[in-house]
C-alpha cells in the first residue's frame, strides 16, 4: 500500500511541478503519466514494474541500450578525478582526448574514398574538418555553427553575408537561431517575429513534392530551385544548413540519392559555407558513422550531439574546417575571438562517456552488425506499406518513418487534431512498446544495439498497432 501511495505521489508531483516539452499540458493533466524508474538493455521500466521496449532510443540518443557497463564505469572513474572544470582559460584531459578522437573519426569517414560513398564530390574542393568546439546539446551546436559562419565572413571582409539558406520541413533545434533556420510551421510559426532572415529551399519530400514532380523523372528539380536562390542571393548568404539524407523531426523525410552531393556541389560553386546538422543522423543512425559519408560529402561545419555519449549525458560538438578556424586568428586587440561559450562546455563526465561510446563502436563492431538489422527493418517496412492506411514508408539506414493517410490513392492526410499517430503510439504502449510519433508519421528509431529478436518484436507490434488504430 505504501508503494502505491508513493507512486501516486510522484504522479501528482509531476503534474504540479513539471512543464513537459512538446506536450499539451491540459491533456497531460488528464492522463496517468508513465514515470520511468529504471532502464536495462533496450527496455524502460516504470514505477509499477511494467517494462517497455524503447522504440525511439529515448528521443534518438540511446545507442547501446540502458545501463551499459563500459559507459557506467567510464563516468564513475571520471567522478573520482573531477566532474567539472571550465574550458574558458583551462582545458581537461577527457575533452582533449575526445576532440582528438572526433577529428580522427571525421577525417577517416568523410572523404571520397570512404566506404559506402555513393556520389563523392571532388577531393580538391573538400574542407579539412579539424577543430572541435564543445557545447551542450543539438540546438547549441547549431547556434555555434551559425554564429561561426556569420563571423567568418566578417573576418573575410564580406560583412553583407548575413542570411542563411535552409529547407522547408527542416528542424535544427529550439533556440532562436536554430528556429530561424527551421522549416516546420507548427513548431516555428509562433516565434516568427523573433527570427532572423533566411531563404527556404524546397524540401526533397518526394512523396509530397511541392514542385509537383515525380522522382526520378523530376531530375531533382528541387536542386534547381535551390540554385535559383543561391544565384539570386549568394552575395548575402553566409551558409546553408541541411540535415543530410533525412529530415528527422519534419517527418522522417528521406532525400533521393544524389541530392546531398548536389547540395555540396552548389555550395562550392557559389562560395557558400555548408553546415551539416548531423545531430540526429550522426554516430551510425543511417548505417554509416555519418550520413554525409553515404555520398562522399564533407561540409565546412558539422554539428554533432545525441548519440555522441550513447544517450548518457548532454554533450555536443561543432566541428569546423581549418579554413574557418584560421579566419578567427589574430592579435588580441583585433577582436577576432569567437565570443561564444557555455558553463559546462567540454564537461569531463560527458566527454568521458563519449570516449567510452566511441570505443564501443569499434569493440562491438556496431556498424557492421547494424547492416542485418537494417535489412530486417526494410523487410518489415515493405509489409507495413501494404496496410490500407499507410501512404509511404521511408528510411535512411536505421531511421525510419511510416506515414499514415486517410486515403491511400489520393494521399489525403488525417487531420492533425485526430492524433492518428498518437493513437498508434497508445496501442503500442498497451503492447509494451514506447514510441513517439511526428504528427501522422510513426517514427521507428530503436537503439542501434537492439537484438534482432527484440527488433522483430518491436516491428510486429508497430504493424499491429497501425492496423488496430487505423481500422477501429
Secondary structure (DSSP) of 215-237: TTTT-SHHHHHHHHHHHHHGGGE
Q: Which of 324, 340, 363 is the last residue of a domain?
A: 363
Verify that 443 and 351 share a domain, yes or no. Answer: no
Neighbours of 77 (CB within 10 A): 11
What are the C-alpha distances in Å from 444 to residues 152, 367, 396, 405, 434? 38, 18, 11, 17, 10
Count of domains for the chain: 2
Verify that 91 and 191 share a domain, yes or no. Answer: yes
pLDDT band at 126 (very low <50, low <70, confident <90, very high): confident
Closest CA to 413 of 245, 246, 207: 207
pTM for the whole structure: 0.96
Match 534518438 to its residue by C-alpha cell: 60
What is the model's pLDDT at position 113?
45
What is the model's pLDDT at position 1?
54
Span of 58-62, 107-111, 182-186 with lowest mean pLDDT: 107-111
- Residue 416 pLDDT more than 60? yes
For residues 114 and 202, what is the distance between their CA atoms, to the nearest angstrom? 29
The proportion of the chain whose per-residue pLDDT surpasses 90, expressed as a percent, equals 94
Q: Which of 332, 363, 394 is the last residue of a domain?
A: 363
pLDDT band at 322 (very low <50, low <70, confident <90, very high): very high
Verify that 369 and 345 share a domain, yes or no. Answer: no
Contact 163, 157 (CB under 8 A): no
H helices then E strands: how many in the chain? Answer: 15, 17
What is the model's pLDDT at position 462?
98
Verify that 388 and 339 share a domain, yes or no. Answer: no
- DSSP E strands, 344-450: 390-396, 399-407, 412-413, 433-434, 441-444
Contact 211, 220 (CB under 8 A): no
Query: Across all residues in the chain, what is the average pLDDT?
Result: 95
Q: Which CATH number fits the domain that encloses residue 162?
A: 3.40.640.10
Q: Is residue 82 domain-resident?
A: yes
What is the model's pLDDT at position 465?
98
pLDDT tens digits, 178-226 = 999 999 999 999 999 999 989 999 999 999 999 999 999 898 999 999 9
- Provide the angle, in degrees to the nearest 10, between the axes of the packed helices 348-363 and 366-385: 80
Contact 445, 68 (CB under 8 A): no
Sheet of strand 51-54: strand arrangement? 36-40, 43-46, 51-54, 433-434
What is the model's pLDDT at position 377?
98
What is the model's pLDDT at position 114?
43
Verify that 197 and 216 share a domain, yes or no. Answer: yes
For residues 206 and 202, what is the distance between their CA atoms, to the nearest angstrom? 11
Q: Which CATH number fits the domain that encloses residue 407?
A: 3.90.1150.10
pLDDT tens digits, 426-444 = 999 999 999 999 999 999 9
Verify that 405 and 351 share a domain, yes or no. Answer: no
- Residue 326 pLDDT more than 50? yes
Residues β-bridged to residue 412: 407
What is the model's pLDDT at position 217?
84
Verify that 161 and 231 share a domain, yes or no. Answer: yes
Grid coordinates standing for 267?
555550395
pLDDT tens digits, 215-274 = 998 989 999 999 999 999 999 999 999 999 999 999 999 999 999 999 999 999 999 999
Q: Is residue 455 domain-resident?
A: yes
Verify that 97 and 132 share a domain, yes or no. Answer: yes
Verify that 98 and 165 share a domain, yes or no. Answer: yes
Q: What is the mean pLDDT of residues 73-81?
A: 98
Q: What is the mean pLDDT of residues 101-123?
A: 69
Verify that 326 and 440 share a domain, yes or no. Answer: no
Span of 8-12, 110-114, 432-436 with lowest mean pLDDT: 110-114
- Residue 122 pLDDT more than 50? no
Q: Which of 363, 379, 396 is the last residue of a domain?
A: 363
Verify that 353 and 369 share a domain, yes or no. Answer: no
Length of the chain: 472
Which residue range forms the structural domain that includes residue 139? 77-363
**In the chain, how long is the greatest CA-to-CA distance?**
71
Match 512543464 to its residue by C-alpha cell: 19
Backbone angles phi, psi at 366, to 5 degrees: -60, -50
Verify that 316 and 445 share a domain, yes or no. Answer: no
pLDDT band at 115 (very low <50, low <70, confident <90, very high): very low
Residues β-bridged to residue 443: 401
What is the model's pLDDT at position 125?
59
Amino acid at each position: 500500500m505504501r508503494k502505491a501511495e508513493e507512486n501516486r505521489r510522484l504522479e501528482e508531483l509531476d503534474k504540479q511541478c513539471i512543464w513537459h516539452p512538446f506536450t499539451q499540458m491540459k491533456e497531460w493533466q488528464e492522463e496517468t503519466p508513465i514515470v520511468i524508474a529504471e532502464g536495462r538493455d533496450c527496455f524502460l521500466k516504470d514505477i509499477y514494474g511494467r517494462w517497455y521496449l524503447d522504440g525511439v532510443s529515448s528521443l534518438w540518443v540511446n545507442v547501446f541500450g540502458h545501463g551499459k557497463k563500459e559507459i557506467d564505469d567510464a563516468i564513475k572513474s571520471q567522478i573520482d578525478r573531477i566532474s567539472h572544470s571550465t574550458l574558458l582559460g583551462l582545458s581537461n584531459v577527457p575533452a582533449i582526448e575526445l576532440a582528438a578522437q572526433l577529428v580522427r573519426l571525421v577525417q577517416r569517414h568523410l572523404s571520397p574514398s570512404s566506404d559506402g560513398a555513393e556520389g563523392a564530390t571532388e577531393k580538391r574542393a573538400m574542407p579539412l574538418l579539424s577543430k572541435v568546439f564543445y557545447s551542450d546539446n543539438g540546438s547549441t551546436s547549431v547556434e555555434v555553427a551559425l554564429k561561426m559562419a556569420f563571423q567568418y565572413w566578417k573576418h573575410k571582409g564580406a560583412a553583407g553575408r548575413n542570411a542563411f539558406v535552409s529547407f522547408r520541413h527542416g528542424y535544427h533545434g529550439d533556440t532562436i537561431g536554430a528556429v530561424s533556420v527551421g522549416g516546420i510551421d507548427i513548431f516555428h510559426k509562433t516565434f516568427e517575429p523573433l527570427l532572423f532572415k533566411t531563404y527556404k529551399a524546397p524540401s526533397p519530400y518526394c512523396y509530397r513534392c511541392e514542385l509537383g514532380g515525380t522522382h526520378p523523372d523530376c531530375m531533382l528539380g528541387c536542386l534547381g530551385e535551390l540554385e535559383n536562390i543561391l544565384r539570386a542571393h549568394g552575395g548575402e548568404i553566409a551558409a546553408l544548413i541541411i540535415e543530410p539524407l533525412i529530415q528527422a523531426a519534419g517527418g522522417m523525410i528521406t532525400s533521393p540519392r544524389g541530392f546531398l552531393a548536389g547540395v555540396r556541389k552548389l555550395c562550392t560553386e557559389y562560395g557558400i559555407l555548408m553546415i551539416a546538422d548531423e545531430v540526429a543522423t550522426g554516430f551510425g543512425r543511417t548505417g554509416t558513422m555519418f550520413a554525409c559519408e553515404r555520398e562522399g560529402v564533407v561540409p565546412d561545419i558539422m554539428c554533432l550531439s545525441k548519440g555522441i555519449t550513447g544517450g548518457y549525458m548532454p554533450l555536443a560538438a561543432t566541428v569546423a574546417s581549418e579554413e574557418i578556424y584560421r579566419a578567427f586568428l589574430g592579435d588580441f586587440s583585433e577582436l577576432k575571438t569567437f565570443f561564444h561559450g557555455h558553463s559546462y562546455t567540454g564537461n569531463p563526465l560527458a566527454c568521458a562517456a563519449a570516449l567510452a561510446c566511441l570505443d564501443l563502436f569499434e569493440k562491438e563492431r556496431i556498424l557492421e552488425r547494424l547492416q542485418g538489422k537494417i535489412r530486417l527493418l526494410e523487410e518489415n517496412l515493405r509489409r507495413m506499406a501494404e496496410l490500407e492506411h499507410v501512404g509511404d514508408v521511408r528510411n535512411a539506414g536505421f531511421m525510419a518513418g511510416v506515414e499514415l493517410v486517410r486515403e491511400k490513392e489520393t494521399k489525403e492526410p488525417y487531420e492533425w487534431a485526430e492524433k492518428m499517430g498518437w493513437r498508434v503510439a497508445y496501442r503500442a504502449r498497451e503492447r509494451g512498446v514506447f514510441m513517439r510519433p511526428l504528427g501522422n508519421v510513426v517514427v521507428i528509431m530503436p537503439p542501434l544495439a537492439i537484438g534482432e529478436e527484440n527488433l522483430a518484436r518491436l516491428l510486429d507490434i508497430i504493424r499491429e498497432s497501425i492496423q488496430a488504430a487505423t481500422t477501429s
